[in-house]
Chain A
Amino acid sequence: MSSIARPPDPCLVAIILIVRSRTGPRLVFHYPPNPLSEHRLKTTTKGGRRISRTRSRQGSRNTDSSSSDESGLSSDEDEEEREPHVGGNANANATPGLGRRASNFGIDNLTLTPDAASPGAADSQRPGSLGSGRASSLRKRGGAGSDYEEDAGSDRPDEGPTGSSRPPWESLLGLPGSVWEKLLSPSRSWHKRRFEVGINDLALIGWPVFVREDGTWRKQRRKKKKKPRAEWDGGVLGHNENAEDAQGEDGATSPDLGGSVATITELTLTTSPTEYKRASTASGKFGKQPDDSLDPEDKDHMTMFNVVFVMDPPLLEYSMRVKEIYENIIKKFAKALKWEQARTDYVWRESQHILQVRRKARETSMSTIIILDLAFPLTARSETSVHNLYSELITQSSLARAMYTVYSSISASKIASVSLSPDVSISLQIPPLTSTPYLAGPTDKAYPGLWLTTADSATSADDPVADESNIPHQVLAKHFALLLLDSEAAIIKDVEASGGTMAPALAHYIRCTKPTKSFAQISASSGIPLSTIQMLASHLVYWRRARAIPPIHQRDTYIVSPNCDLSKLELATIAYQTAFPTLPSLPKMLSALSGTPRPYGSFIPSKDHKETYFTILAWLLRGGWVTQLRTFAWIKVTPEIKLAVETALRKEEVDRYLAKGSTSAVADDSDSSSEDDAHSSSSSSLASHGSGDNTPMPGRPDPHARLRISHKLLDRSTALRHSSLILSPHRASPLESRWLDEITVLQRYWPVFLKYFNGYDALEKIPVRESLKRKLVWHVLARLGFVTGPGGPIELDAREQVLVGVRHW
């Protein structure tokens, strides 16, 4: 069951590595070999994504659907036309709209490269190439320029093989490598900064690293070897090597996920041991190669490297997408490379190796072309050669492989596990969206299947009462529970397979944890310290193995999520059937939960079924099929209360007038402000008063403040006639406090409950946080006017019915 809600769309088009040495910048490697065409391929097979993107882009110009489709297509055509590479045929056939171009498509392949490369050929107003954006304007211009280019393209097929043909991988997105080399090797002012360049609709983002003046790649501090971490800006990377020593202190204590990544790789496990081995042998092999063949570059030194990520974010999401990938991927990946570069001259070594392989491939490909002549279609030929070259590079160079992995994982919104060398591996991901409180409307972008809830596990957001925890990063609230997103066995297996020092602790914790028990409870029952649990849990959450939820309870209510992804119903039904063969089918279960909301317990047929039904509920929550219906409430102040307070205030006022003369105005003034504070804060912690009492304002001798209140009251005389809600009882205004005092009911629990009646804190939290029995809590709430579920008939006192409640997720 894919349970994680749809992750963000990375919009990744390609990754490029540029290095600069004394001989100038070189485009060393890029993946995929032929970026935008693969992109297209994905679209034609997979549909949705790209299309929607095109649409939203079109939105900027035109809402009219048909014309936007058209220009969407033509922009693709554009790319296609320019793309010197392979792999287009399938697309052309698959997409009817592209078929038009299929005729000369194969031919374009080789010839366009020189076309773009030799400036003379193009009336180079618009060499075009980076086509994604310009479609409409190209047409608008009467197409003179572009037509011309097209013709040129198809007219010169014969020139291809004989002319100055370059191997197809020497250019990228229709521009020769040299253009990219110039564009993407910025000046030193970008050292370790965000480098962002845009070409039409493409955004190119990098984090260039320059060699230091002294020729090294990092500050020489103390011993070079021993202190890798000293160099980590914020310690974002996970290295197994560090894991050994760092795990103990850092890993265990740091709640900051970025910081505890030392162990990341242990969990993510995409590299199997065998692959790992291959990696190391490969690197061993090419460790020698450069020595054998003496390059001119041999004596050369790298002065800069820049890994550039090419993206095509929709215009309206531009900054968000760019930021996401920059913070989570680009920077971290480049930092890892920098670290390895400093340690073992890694980037430069690998670059030289890649360049060498490419040189060789070029020689062979040239000769093949000449020998084969036109016996085979050019497309096929260049396709093979590109393919061969890339598979060779990816097997031989760990850097090429790393870029390949990052590209393929990230563009699929997965976790990329990259090992640069046997010692160094990192995991990268763009953290997915895991929940949302917003239900998309008919015109909004929807993420069906996303967990719909207001329950936010980050402590600060979940606990408005406790403001002090303003940590940006995820300390999971202790009253949350862990919902594993995969079977316990599977996760444990993965954890153990990965080895690593954290594995036993993780496995132990995973065995102990239950979605029905909060972290605090698990801590108490298992003896694992709460902070450790929070750390382990947030680790699992961050790496997509689990989700933090309010603990499942049979007295809580669950509804079918309005955001569930019904298109997956069929598959899910089958999976559900397999998981719970003897129980009612998924549709039946959903149907049952679609009724008038009632506590989950009422669906459980018997005590024996309890465990199973909790498993079912966990399953349903995992898939976003259901969500908890939570209850929110405010205190309602009726006109009667207001009137009573008003009367009391007036009376006090009169009394005060009579007693006037004894107090000094100056003193009062200074008092009053502080009094206000004291007043409101005292109301926020009514608990400290012990029992609320009927005396309206115990020990509060502040005539002036009261005078003001009453004036305000007079101003708002109409408000008197209507009820109103107290929106934040723990920060009540003086007047509201008077009302609250007047209301005071249920002396025992009122102070405890009061702060939850703000419309934002779910009442379901009360039992968990205050360690009260749910039954009791709901009984109290029912007396206060909030009846849910099978409360049973309680004797209700109208005077106590002070709550206005609403239920949502």
Chain B
Amino acid sequence: MIRAIFYSKFDTQEGPKVVHQVPDGAIVPSSTAPAQPLFLTFSDVSFFVIPRQELCGNLLQVCTNGYRILGYPICMKSDRYARNEFIFNFCIVLTEEEDFSQYKSVVQKLADLMHALEEQNGFLSRDFSKSGEGKVYSLCEMLMEDLNNYCECMIPIDELNTLNIKLFPIYPSPPPVKAWQVPLFTVRYQAFMDENWDLSLQRIVPYINGVNSVRIISILADTDFSLTCRAIRHLLYYGCLFLLDIFSFSAIYAPTAQFSSAIGSDEAMQLECARYVNTRFAPHPPIGPQSPLPSQIAPAAAASSAGSPGGAGPLSSPLTDAAPSLSRDDSRFDAEEIWPLMGDLEDAPNGSRKVAETPENDTVPAGQGPRVVDGVGIVELYAGLKQGQSVKQWYAQHSRALANIDIRRFITFGVIKGFLYRVHKYACATGQPAPAPRSSSVVPVNLSTGPSSRTTTGNNTPYAASSVGDDAPISARRDASRERAASFHSGSRGGTGSGSAPSGLYGDEENEIDDRTLSKYLDGTHSFDQICTELEISERELTVRLKRYPGRY
């Protein structure tokens, strides 16, 4: 908030001088102002308000007495001025701690405008009105009032000039967008898009759905890839988008340290989650990749979106839950219907109720518990995600609870809210020279991803089934990695990458990727998502391909 605005000039008789000030008596004592302490001592800062010529034309600021003064001194030379020059400065006073970034441009713009006005008709130099009166004064007054109250102003000055200023918050610039990232709208773009938008932006926008990776978007929209990236980055800057990773059932997610403060303790967030993931509310079937995502998930500002549990059940289907739950009396909220129903018990068995692992899974003893996944149930489901366990495995253990939950949305929700992270996989070719090319290491890292949509559905069954000895040092990380590591060991026997592909399905494609290309990705800095996206193969193909990666590198 602007505390004061003052206009100062170099007076040939008096030296640096404050001509107008808003509020009155803020900078220099004024007979008309009520007695009040000055904000600061003008003489302390006059060296800077009216600086030496060399400094004119620069944005200057100085802090004193708890205030920060921003100014942009201008020095004009002309023989119509006494001493042939006219130095003036319009300064904005803020408190010292206040973020001043957005006011920099205000000061600059004001200076530019005044410079122009002065040039046109001596707007300033001919202003002989008393302090606190006249055009220049009322300009300062309106400016301060409007900016403080409305963050913008439009002040007509004469028939030609208007002072238009708007305060723009400054955001950090987003990093470059990667091909394997998946953008997701946080707002309804339809609401504010118009035909004046950038053309590539307009083309891209319909394909942004939280499923398509940037690369896929650029293909689908038939736009240049780099333009696509830039357009997305633009949306990112304004907080219209999130970047996610490519969802796949073979991916691994695990909780972050925000878990406790987010979903763990925030009941509103649990409700929000339920509303978002409950397939009952989904416009499309469960894992429908095309489902446009409701905009309710506001960025970090969970507060705004989480607010309305009452009106939550707009879609509440008439056939609420048929499942016999605890006696329901009439005082029941419709909020009740938010919680996803559990699946039928028959669905559950699946043999996968691993006894040793996480026995708390089916939290409620069958039969008597409520048949919905309530807030705590959601927390437990999220807590069940962990390193070394793919979504698929997790799903197998919780299939009953997840029966009416859109898995992709469930995961996405956690990632967006920041309490889940994607565990990335990296391959690292070791064994420098020939003989012993060793394992590839698999290292999880956060970030996002995005290979082709092929991996989107749970078609990875083949290798999920494969398992190797549990005691292998590579442990259960993930079946894929285990395989790969194993294959490296075996691969060390010979550098023959051309051997018949173990999996006939993708054999041909793989052969096109030669070892040199592949080796570039095997230094541990490229995530599987990246490799897959850039080489345009599925993760499964990559895994198979890696097995045959020779030990040469």
Query: Measuring CB to CB, which residues of chain A are less than 8 angstroms from any residue of chain B?
Result: 55-56, 58-60, 63-66, 68, 116-117, 119, 123-130, 133-134, 137, 175-176, 178-179, 182-183, 186-187, 189-190, 194-200, 315-316, 318-319, 437-443, 445, 452-454, 559-560, 562-564, 566-567, 569-570, 573, 584-592, 594-598, 603, 629, 632, 634, 636, 638-640, 717-718, 721-725, 727, 759-760, 785-787, 793, 796, 798, 801, 803-809
- Selected from B43, B47, B59, B370, the residue in CB contact (under 8 A) with A639 is B370
Query: What 1/0 flags go to B10-25 for Cβ under 8 Å of A?
Result: 0000000000000000
Q: Is A194 touching B476 in the complex (CB atoms < 8 A)?
A: no
Is the pair A804, B243 in contact by a Cβ cutoff of 8 Å? no
Judged by a CB distance under 8 angstroms, whether B159 is at the interface is no
Q: Which of B347-401 contact A (CB under 8 A)?
A: 355-360, 363-365, 368-370, 372, 374-377, 379-380, 382-383, 386-389
Question: By the criterion CB–CB under 8 Å, are B56 and A316 in contact?
Answer: no
Closest partner residue, chain A, to B198 (CB atom): A64
Contact of B230 among A64, A130, A564, A801 (CB under 8 A): A64
Residue of A nearest to B426 (CB): A566
Assuming A126-B58, A179-B55, A725-B265, is B173 touching A318 (CB within 8 A)?
Answer: no
With an 8 A cutoff between CB atoms, is B505 at the interface? no
Which residue from chain A places its CB closest to the CB of B57 in the assembled complex?
Answer: A126
B477 engages A196 (CB within 8 Å): no
Q: Do the beta carbons of B55 and A724 come within 8 Å of each other? A: no
Decide if B233 is an interface residue (CB 8 Å cutoff). yes
Nearest A residue (CB) for B55? A179
Q: A199-B58, A597-B388 are in contact. Are A806 and B44 (CB under 8 A)?
A: no
Q: Which residues of A contact B335 (CB under 8 A)?
A: 718
Interface residues of B (CB under 8 A from A): 41, 43-44, 47-48, 51-65, 68, 74-77, 97, 99-101, 108, 115, 170-176, 178, 181, 230, 233-234, 236-238, 243, 254-260, 264-265, 267, 325-326, 328-329, 331-333, 335-336, 339, 355-360, 363-365, 368-370, 372, 374-377, 379-380, 382-383, 386-389, 418, 421, 423-424, 426, 428, 430, 438-448, 473-478, 481, 485, 523-525
Say yes or no: A573 contacts B430, CB within 8 Å: yes
Q: Verify A639–B375 contact, CB threshold 8 A.
A: no
A443 touches B259 (CB 8 A): no
B441–A442 contact, CB under 8 A? no
CA distance A807 to B260 in the complex (A): 10
Contacts of B178 in A (CB 8 A): 442
- In the assembled complex, 9 residue pairs joining A and B whose CB atoms fall closer than 8 Å, in A order, are A125-B76, A133-B59, A452-B257, A587-B438, A591-B442, A594-B481, A596-B388, A718-B336, A787-B357
Contact residues in B for A727 (Cβ distance below 8 Å): 265
Q: Is B172 a contact partner of A316 (Cβ separation < 8 A)?
A: yes
Closest to B372 in A: A722
**Bound: A58/B374 CA distance, A:** 46
In the bound complex, residues from chain A placing their C-beta under 8 Å from that of B473 are 584, 588, 591-592, 603
Q: Are B386 and A596 in contact (CB under 8 A)?
A: yes
- The answer to whether A125 and B441 touch across the interface, beta carbons within 8 angstroms, is no
Minimum distance in angstroms from B159 CB to a CB of chain A: 24
Q: Quick one: which of A66, A189, A318 contacts B64, CB cutoff 8 A?
A: A189
Query: Do A594 and B173 touch (CB < 8 A)?
Result: no
Q: How many angstroms between the C-alpha atoms of A66 and B53 in the bound complex?
A: 34
Other-chain residue from B54, B336, B421 in contact with A127 (beta carbon distance below 8 A):
B54
Chain B: minimal CB distance from A138 (Å): 10
Residues of A within 8 A of B54 (CB): 116-117, 119, 124, 127, 129, 175-176, 179
CB distance from B325 to the nearest CB of A (A): 7
Among B56, B76, B428, B477, chain A packs the most CB atoms within 10 A around the CB of B428
> Do the beta carbons of A128 and B57 come within 8 Å of each other?
yes
Given A442-B243, A808-B257: A594 touches B388 (CB 8 Å cut-off): yes
Of the candidates A439, A441, A638, A796, the one having the most CB atoms from chain B within 10 angstroms of its own CB is: A441
Contact A186 B44 (CB under 8 A): yes
**Using Cβ atoms and an 8 Å threshold, which residues of chain B touch A589?**
441
What chain B residues lie within 8 Å of A603 (beta carbons)? 473
**Residues of chain A lying within 8 A (CB to CB) of residue B428:** 569, 587, 591
Residues in B with CB closer than 8 Å to A318 are: 100-101
- Is the CB–CB distance between B374 and A801 below 8 Å? no
Query: Which residues of chain B have C-beta atoms less than 8 A from A723's C-beta?
Result: 363, 374-377
* A65 touching B233, Cβ below 8 Å: yes
- In the assembly, what is the distance between CA of A133 and CA of B64, in Å? 23
Contacts of A197 in B (CB 8 A): 48, 60-63
Is B439 touching A587 in the complex (CB atoms < 8 A)? yes
Chain A's closest residue to B328 (CB) is A721
Report which residue of B58, B368, B485 has the largest number of chain A beta carbons within 10 angstroms of its beta carbon.
B58
Partner of A588, one of B55, B181, B430: B430
List the B side residues contacting A64 at CB < 8 Å.
230, 234
Which single member of A116, A591, A721 contacts B477 (CB below 8 Å)? A591
Asked whether B60 lies within 8 Å of A199 as measured between CB atoms, the reply is yes
Q: How far is the CB of A755 from chain B (nearest CB, A)?
A: 15
The answer to whether residues A200 and B58 also contact, given A124-B77, A787-B357 and a CB cut-off of 8 A, is yes
Q: List A contacts of B485 (CB < 8 A).
A: 591
Q: Find out whether the CB atom of B477 lies under 8 angstroms from the CB atom of A179.
A: no
Inter-chain contacts of B336 with A (CB < 8 A): 718, 721
Contact B445 A594 (CB under 8 A): no
Instruction: A414 to B198: give the CA distance in the assembly, Å.
Output: 46
CA separation between A566 and B440, bound complex, in Å?
14
When C-beta atoms are compared, the residue in chain A nearest to B239 turns out to be A443
Contacts of A441 in B (CB 8 A): 243, 418, 446-448
Instruction: Check A595–B474 contact: CB distance below 8 A.
Output: yes
Tell whether, in the assembled complex, residue B97 and residue A319 are in contact, meaning their CB atoms are under 8 Å apart: yes
- Closest 9 A/B residue pairs (Cβ): A595-B475, A59-B173, A596-B388, A587-B441, A126-B57, A591-B441, A198-B61, A722-B374, A63-B237
> Contacting B173 at CB < 8 Å: which of A63, A195, A808?
A63
Measured between beta carbons, the chain A residues less than 8 angstroms from B53 are: 119, 124, 127
Q: Which residue in B101, B359, B388, B442 is a CB contact (below 8 Å) of A60?
A: B101
Are A721 and B370 in contact (CB-based, < 8 A)? yes
Question: Within the assembled complex, what's the spacing in Å between the Cα atoms of A73 and B188?
Answer: 36
* In the complex with contacts A442-B181, A563-B445, A806-B382, A55-B58 CB distance below 8 A: no
Would A591 and B481 count as touching, CB distance under 8 A? yes
**Who on chain A is nearest to B252 by CB?**
A594
B516 to chain A, nearest CB (A): 18
**A633 nearest CB across to chain B (Å):** 9
User: Which A residues are in CB contact (< 8 Å) with B65?
Assistant: 189
In the complex, the answer to whether A717 meets B441 with C-beta atoms within 8 Å is: no
Q: Given A442-B175, A597-B387, 8 other A-B contacts at CB below 8 A?
A: A63-B234, A197-B61, A198-B59, A442-B447, A591-B481, A721-B374, A722-B372, A759-B260
Name the one of A56, A196, A639, A760 contacting B172, with C-beta atoms under 8 angstroms.
Answer: A56
Given known contacts A63-B174, A182-B52, A596-B477, A562 and B444 CB-to-CB distance under 8 angstroms? yes
| Chain B residue at minimum C-beta to C-beta distance from A123 | B77
Q: Which of B55, B77, B99, B234 contacts A175 (CB 8 A)?
A: B55
Smallest Cβ-Cβ distance to A318: which chain B residue: B101
Chain B residue numbers with a CB within 8 Å of A566 are: 426, 443, 445, 524-525
The one of B57, B62, B374, B442 that contacts A124, using a Cβ cutoff of 8 Å: B57
Residues of B with C-beta under 8 A to A125: 56-57, 74-76, 115
A723 to B369, CA, bound (A): 10
Choose from B171, B356, B445 the contact partner of A564 (Cβ within 8 Å). Answer: B445
Cα A75 to Cα B99 in complex, Å, equals 23
A140 to B260, CA, bound (A): 50
A116, A438, A786: the one within 8 Å of B258 (CB): A438
Q: A588 to B431: give the CA distance in the assembly, Å.
A: 11
CB distance from A566 to the nearest CB of B (A): 5
Contacts of B383 in A (CB 8 A): 804-807
- A562 lies within 8 A of B446 (CB): yes
Report whether B170 and A59 are in contact in the complex, using a CB–CB cutoff of 8 Å. Answer: yes
Q: Are the C-beta atoms of A594 and B175 separated by less than 8 Å?
A: no
> Which of B48, B51, B260 is in CB contact (< 8 Å) with A806?
B260
The minimal Cβ–Cβ distance linking B355 to chain A, given in whole angstroms, is 8
Q: Is the CB of B444 within 8 A of A570?
A: no
Residues of B within 8 A of A68 (CB): 173
